[in-house]
Structure 1
């Protein structure tokens, strides 16, 4: 996977509750005919099976991500979602593992892999996305380093702003 910067998403105005479920998408400055779920593009990658977008809903304390494999018109050909009502999945870091897989870091030690899979036998069927938790993340040096960076960042925030408890 290769990081790209080809796509941008419509910015909505007005009351958040009135925003549409899908947002218009532009590629290289051209409006595409299909909208995508989400209000912010968190990351975008070129994969062997097409562009992959990671979108979020810009919803404080209830962050969620949609992982969208799209075609050249912006049509979603495969989708996976990470999010639960009243839970926050704020994406802290991400990086390619290989041509088909991304590592995703949430919270302190919450890691996932997202794999872009081709269609079934002989190219028939649609590609798919497989999202898996990494239960043995301590064995991966990049995940350990990402966790340490986030812990250091949070420690600096606590030093600056306090721990949020009343004295």
Structure 2
């Protein structure tokens, strides 16, 4: 059973940089985000001035159809700027993320964060540098491991995650063997 993301989940409310561990135990259909904030969609969690430093574990559940449409904004993704935060088991399916530079579907700017066992299968587009699959800009000390993105739907052939992120075709993203081989 899928839960629907309430519009108030992120509008007018932010997860503070001091938030404790955050886990979610159900899939989320975020289709409603396309109409949020005068059409700009979801407000990324964490910004350069207020970085996300908590922990986030989706427990393998999927967030589908997330929309972020901020073509003049840097550091855009489900998480805008992450500092020292572990993000695990996050699956993003469908949706689209548009930003200026330093953005990816999952994380815009990863600064000393650790992204692991995650995937992104939505469309990513932008107007400047550091436009990538799951992680836009991976700073010194930032790590990405066992994470994947769909190069066909995402429209990006590279990711800032380095060897820890693996681009796959849509067909490969639907095969269990893709993930099992990663550990």
Q: TM-score normalised to the size of structure 1? A: 0.27
> Which one has the bigger strand percentage?
1
Q: TM-score normalised to the size of structure 2? A: 0.25
Which structure: larger Rg?
Answer: 1
